[in-house]
Structure 1
Amino acid sequence: MTSRTHSSKPPLSSRMMRATWRGLPAKRHDVGWEPGLPVPAADGSPLITDHYFPRAEGDFPTLLVRSPYGRGLPWSPMYGLLFAEQGFHVVLQSCRGTGGSGGAFDLWCNEAADGRATVSWLREQPWFNGTLGTVGPSYLGYVQWALAVDPPPELKAMVVQVGLHDPHALFHAHGALHLETALAVGAGMTYQHQGMAPFLRATLRLQRRLRAATTAQPLRGAYASALGGEVPWLDDVMTHPDAEDAYWHGASLAHVAERLSVPTSLITGWHDALADQTFEQYARLRRAGCETALLVGPWTHTSALQQGWPEVFTESLAWLRAHLHADPSGLRPTRVRVHVGGENAWRDLDDWPPATAADSWFPTVQGHLIRQAPTDSAPLTSFRYDPDDPTPSLGGPLLSRTAGPRDNSSLEARKDVLTFTSAPLTEPMDILGPVSARLNISTDTGHADVFTRLCDVDPQGRSINICDGLGRLRTDGQEPSPITVPMSSTAHRFAVGHRIRWQISAGAHPRYARNPGNGDSPVDATTFTPVRITLHTDSTLTLPMHTHSSGTR
């Protein structure tokens, strides 16, 4: 049964944005809209909700989309309008304390209870047919995992797009603060639910004041001018680097995937700031025997929902139609589809990661990268890292517009960046899976970060980043200390004539907060100590060499 009372056409701005998209499935229904419905949370706070629905006779399943970023652009056309056109009721709700909803927004604390309260409300609606799915990106993924902590029986499918399940890992990596990401999240959570204009002004202000906010000594509180005021929860996440701290208790929802039986589709991009979280949840779902699918495109966190939207929407729609409409015709034949960089093609795989052979590469004193292992662990080369002139970040998995693949040539010209490069390849080489580095390092202060990156160098000399990672090192005086740094995952083909490059430095600022070099907290440090870092010969770059393909399109 379809609701028609007090309904109108969706907002003009949403219909105008809808008209700009190309490459989407043809619409099946006209859409009606009931805006501003107050849904009572467990404590009575009104959760303001918009209802989109097909203007057609018959029963339709419902999609729940809960967001702290408002219910206007782009969420209204991307989720409300597009999915209702395809035969779904869509319930687009502002999380408490955002977008006019009552109560106070408390990052990740109320989503499970508020999600359950919303499902209780749905059960009372005459148009709800008892079949429910969830969909959404980023923090909208977190609220899906929160509902799945104790999944209601009506929940039949989830689609988590560039999604979050572990807030600590969003803000910290091995003790290092994801500084630029923290500020971007602060701006998004504070302003995006107020509308596009306030959010755009906040984003531009952050860009203008980013350098001042990220080079202040101390960092604590320095973001206020860049974000237009204090953000109490941001102070908290920046000053609690330890995942075991009581502050983070209950924040991670990683465990949900370990016992989930709701069919779940996961979507990410190779340069998504949350890609590693997606791969972790995929592995957990597979171990739990849960029906799951994985799509990984050539995207960043934001471009997945822009340039990548036709693929992301089509994938999401096929999964929801299969599990809520009992129409599996749009599902692909394999569980995994990844975009292979360098080859610029999609590849269908039975699982992730596919079977690979560990391919070890070693640095030489001449700056080469070779497959022949060294016979000792002698010092190879050293460089000086000065926190007052930190090695800059360039591209990679960020939330900002500077994310993604970039030419690293200017970065690699710096004296505080080491590079080791293979000979030109005489045959193509495919790597599919997790990349890692084991570095044997000594320092003169005992405190340093190590940033390690894999690049593809083309015949013209452009060095394009593929994947990377950072580890925090505490050494005992001048004695070398081994550290293993996970460098995320990739699917990439090194073409004939291209070279493999291993890039090593002691930071990537402002992506990561500077290591002060003296053991002080990066958030509270007011003095910095330059560090001499020495790399030893028995350091290893390990690539997952793929020996066969399962099909390309």
Structure 2
Amino acid sequence: MTARHHHTAPKPAWTPPAGKPPRSSRMMRATWRKLPAKRYDVGWEPDLVVPAADGSPLRTDHYFPRAEGDFPTLLVRSPYGRGVPWSPMYGILFAEQGFHVVVQSCRGTGGSGGRFDLWRNEPADGQATVSWLRGQPWFNGTLGTIGASYLGYVQWALALDPPPELKAMVVQVGLHDPHAFFHAGGAFHLENALVMALGMTYQHQGMVPMTKAALRLQRNLRKVTNALPLRGAHAAALGEVPWLDGAMTHPDADDPHWIGASVGEAAERLTVPTCLIGGWHDVMADQNFEQYGRLRRAGCETSLLVGPWTHTSAFQQGWADVFSESLAWLRAHLCADPGGLRPSRVRVHVGGEDAWRDLDDWPQSPAATPWYPTPDGGLTRQAPTDAAPLASFRYDPADPTPSAGGRLLSRTAGPRDNGSLEARKDVLTFTGPPLTEPLDVLGPITALLRVSTDTGHADVFARLCDVDERGRSVNICDGLVRLRTAGQESSEAAVPMSATAHRFAAGHRIRLQISGGAHPRYARNPGTGEPSADAAGLAPVHITLHADSALLLPLTVDDAP
């Protein structure tokens, strides 16, 4: 951490401007229910210019309580513009509660100068903004940060060298590692990358350009995701997006392209109290759990809230919980008002039970209990006696296994009925017997699979499902890994399926689903050994699952055998 010494020069007097927040933001604010009563009327000082690290102008809006007094400041930096939803969600709501809120457009977006880049400028531009804050007459030297998704990334970027004024962070469904967002598991996360590019490119331009681009992407999604080669195909819907080309064509985390991209190391030495908020069906969930683990190992004060949310529903159905959690953390650490903090470090929503559970930590470190697939499509706790082939299927990239729900940025995210997916010939299912009593699964899920292929090139997608008494199969969590096997020899593949907190009710059954992909969520494996971005041809593959495969479930102590 760099030592800083600041001269305390007298600040000029500040007269609050008379402006009100934008009408669209006030209208959206009026629609929210179950939020704390406002404490102050809100003023608005729009379109301020903050010099970036290289002098580029960063367009900035300032929201403030219309009252006498000393108020802490929240910094929100966004590449998605400064209007709806950020203006009401952060600017108005938190200013109502007694905070100055600075909402800034990242360089190259929302009228700010310079060229946008996914990661190369955020640490320096964040520091430059804090330097500007020090000169503002209303800034009292107490700073917090808050924001969702990429608005979380910029917080970690600032925390690489946290300024002394930074006293609290609230990272909501935020990432710290762009490479992992695009390539975790070895396959390109195609649909999420396209939706991210849509938002990054068009949302800061306003509602009309964003809506037109979203409709254009929807119309062209099949054409774009089935293109050969995949490289550059997105231009038909999104135009040229240089950083997306770079992300797609550099799959290796060690490639120089990704130097400086991950800012996760900030959590390894951070002392700033940090609140993490995530969703079980959010694409950033694994990064949130990694952030929490790093903060805990560093001894940093932290809390974790995980709800039944997707990336977007956390700010729709879940907004009352997310806002209350965020506000309590900021009041405790910026205003010396800890009354709203919950006593537990971790709170998770348990699916199936539809209830919140307070925990001392995450994960609970239960023993992972193996469940083994059987030749007749069963799932049992009895270990197999050999590694004989269990079942096989043919994956054809010309007719790729489709995705159904899961951790997506789109509206199709989350739990879905998997019936039509599981009826396909290229999907295997292994299902346990009806449970005689409820079974709780809390923690990370892994499938240890022994797999062989006839070509050596395949993806393996594994999914945990809850099957009810009527036979309806709903996805809980999943994961995919890209394999290179030695011809037809079997090899073991560990498929991380993320984590969950879920109760399987009595009468329900546990199901392990196996397939060769989930398209267009993941770019299909062409089967030729070529990179997905550049493959010009497709080749089918036969995938065989062997009997010494296992689904590892972190059961609670009472449920473990």
TM range (shorter): over 0.9
Which residue identity lines up with residue 547 of structure 2 in the other structure? Answer: T
1:192–1:199: 8 Å Cα contact kept in structure 2? yes
Residues 136-175 of structure 1 show CA distances to partners (whole Å, capped at 9, x for unaligned) of 0000000000110100000000000000100001111222
- The answer for the alignment partner of 1:103 in structure 2 is 114
Match of 2:411 in 1: 401
Select 1:169's aligned residue among 176, 180, 183: 180
* 1:39-118 mapped onto 2 (5 Å cutoff): 39-118=50-129
Is contact 1:2-1:59 (8 Å) kept? no
Match of 2:32 among 13, 18, 21: 21
SS in 2 for 1:157: strand
Distance of 1:131 and 1:62 partners within structure 2: 6
| Residue aligning to 1:120 | 131
Kindly indicate whether residue 227 of structure 2 is the aligned counterpart of residue 225 of structure 1.
Answer: no
Mapped partners of 2:358, 2:51: distance in 1: 44
Given the alignment, which residue of 487, 502, 505 partners 2:497? 487
Aligned-residue offset at 1:4: 3.8
Which residue of 170, 173, 192 corresponds with 1:181? 192
**Equivalent-residue separation in structure 2 for 1:57 and 1:414 (angstroms):** 66
- Structure 2 contact 451–491 (Cα < 8 Å) conserved: yes
Separation in structure 2 between the aligned mates of residue 493 and residue 131 of structure 1, nearest angstrom: 42
8 A contact 1:2–1:55 mirrored in 2: no
1:490-525 Cα shifts (integer Å, max 9, x gaps) = 000000000000000000000000101120111111
Q: Could you tell me which residue of structure 2 aligns to residue 321 of structure 1?
A: 331
Cα drift, residue 357 of structure 1: 2.1
What is the root-mean-square deviation of aligned Cα atoms in Å? Answer: 1.1
Tell me which residue corresponds to 2:47.
36
1:354 to partner: Cα distance: 1.1
Asked whether the equivalents of residues 430 and 547 of structure 1 are also in contact (C-alpha less than 8 Å), the reply is no
* Equivalent-residue separation in structure 1 for 2:210 and 2:340 (angstroms): 36
Shift of 1:355: 3.4
Deviations 1:205-246 (A, max 9, x none): 11111000000111111111111x111111100000000000
Give the whole-Å Cα distance in 2 for the aligned partners of 1:185 and 1:527. 27
Structure 1 counterpart of 2:57, which letter? P
Matched, 1:462 2:472: yes
Equivalent in the alignment of 1:284 = 294
Question: Aligned-pair distance for 1:2?
Answer: 9.2
Match of 1:267 among 265, 277, 281: 277
Secondary structure of 1:57's counterpart equals coil
Residue matched to 2:362: 352
What is the Cα deviation at residue 472 of structure 1? 1.0
SS for the counterpart of 2:173 is strand
Quote the offset at 1:547 in angstroms.
2.5
Mapped to 1, the partners of 2:478 and 2:299 lie a distance apart of 30
Query: Secondary structure of the equivalent of 1:374?
Result: coil
Q: What is the CA–CA distance in structure 2 between the aligned matches of 1:2 and 1:209, rounded to whole Å?
A: 55
Q: Is the 8 A contact 1:4 1:32 kept in 2?
A: no
Q: Residue 147 of structure 1 is aligned with which of 158, 169, 183?
A: 158
Amino acid at match of 1:153: P
Letter in 2 for 1:263: P
Q: Output the CA distance in 2 between the equivalents of 1:547 and 1:203.
A: 47
Does residue 1:443 correspond to 2:453, yes or no?
yes
Aligned 8 A contact 2:467 2:508 in 1: yes
1:294 aligns with 2:296: no
Q: TM-score, normalised by structure 2?
A: 0.97
Identity level (%): 77
Q: TM-score, normalised by structure 1?
A: 0.98
Query: CA–CA distance in 2 between the matches of 1:395 and 1:486?
Result: 17
- The AA in structure 1 aligned to 2:119 is W
**1:453 counterpart (453, 458, 463):** 463
> What are the equivalent positions in structure 2 for 1:245-256 lying under 5 Å apart?
245-256=255-266
The equivalent residue for 2:341 is: 331
Deviations 1:65-117, CA, capped at 9 Å, x for gaps: 00000000111000000000000000000001100011111111111111111
What CA deviation, in whole Å up to 9, does each residue of 1:173-217 have, x standing for no partner?
A: 222000001111111110010112211221121111100000011
Q: For residues 247 and 323 of structure 2, what CA distance do their matches in structure 1 show?
A: 32
In structure 2, what residue type is equivalent to 1:118? Answer: T
Q: Distance in 2 between matches of 1:309 and 1:2?
A: 37
Alignment of 1:344-423 (within 5 A): 344-423=354-433
Q: Give, in whole Å, the separation in 2 of the partners of 1:159 and 1:484.
A: 33
Helix, strand or coil at the partner of 1:361: strand
1:540 aligned to 550, 554, 558, which one?
A: 550
Instruction: Please state how far the C-alpha of 1:42 moved relative to its aligned partner.
Output: 2.1
AA partner of residue 419 (structure 2):
S
Alpha-carbon shift at residue 478 of structure 1 (Å) = 1.0
Q: Counterparts of 1:332 and 1:200 in 2: how far apart (Å)? A: 40
1: CA distance, partners of 2:235 / 2:14 = 46
The list of structure 1 runs, each at least 4 consecutive aligned residues, that deviate by more than 3 angstroms after superposition, is 1-7
CA distance in 1, matches of 2:20, 2:27: 12
Query: Which amino acid in the other structure matches residue 171 of structure 2?
Result: V
Mapped to 1, the partners of 2:13 and 2:23 lie a distance apart of 22
Contact 1:34 1:52 (C-alpha < 8 Å) held by counterparts: yes
Q: In the superposition, relative to structure 1, how do residues 195 and 55 fare at CA in structure 2: closer, same or farther (>3 Å)?
A: same
CA-CA distance at 1:548 after TM superposition: 5.8
Specify the code of the residue in structure 1 equivalent to 2:222.
Answer: R
Instruction: Find the aligned partners of 1:376 and 1:7 in 2 and give their Cα distance.
Output: 77
Residue 473 of structure 1 corresponds to which residue in structure 2? Answer: 483
Please give the alpha-carbon distance, in whole angstroms, between the structure 2 residues aligned to 1:142 and 1:202: 24
Task: Structure 1: state its 5+ residue gaps.
Answer: none
Separation (CA, whole Å) in 1 of partners of 2:152 and 2:481:
27
Shift of 1:356: 1.4
Q: d(CA) in 2 for partners of 1:223 and 1:431? A: 39
* Residue 513 (structure 2) aligns with: 503
Q: Is the 8 A contact 1:360 1:371 kept in 2?
A: yes
Contact 1:2 1:58 in 2 (8 A): no
1:278-327 alpha-carbon deviations (Å, 9 max, x no partner) = 00000000000000000000000011111111100100000000000000
2:441 maps to 1:431: yes
Alpha-carbon distance in 2 for matches of 1:293, 1:151: 19
Alpha-carbon contact 2:17-2:43 (below 8 Å) kept: no
User: Is the counterpart of residue 207 in structure 1 residue 218 in structure 2?
Assistant: yes
Q: 1:137 aligns with which of 148, 164, 170?
A: 148
Q: Return the alpha-carbon distance in structure 1 between the equivalents of residues 189 and 544 of structure 2.
A: 25
**Mapped contact 2:379–2:431 kept (Cα < 8 A):** yes
Amino acid corresponding to residue 313 of structure 2 in structure 1: S
Shift of residue 391, structure 1, vs aligned partner: 0.1
* Alpha-carbon displacement from aligned partner over 1:412-466 (angstroms, at most 9, x marks no partner): 0000000000000001000000000110000000000000000000001110000
CA-to-aligned-CA distance 1:107-131 (integer Å, 9 cap, x gap): 1111111111111111111110000
What is the aligned residue count? 548
**Contact 1:355/1:546, CA 8 A, preserved across alignment:** no
CA contact (8 A) 1:270 1:297 kept: yes
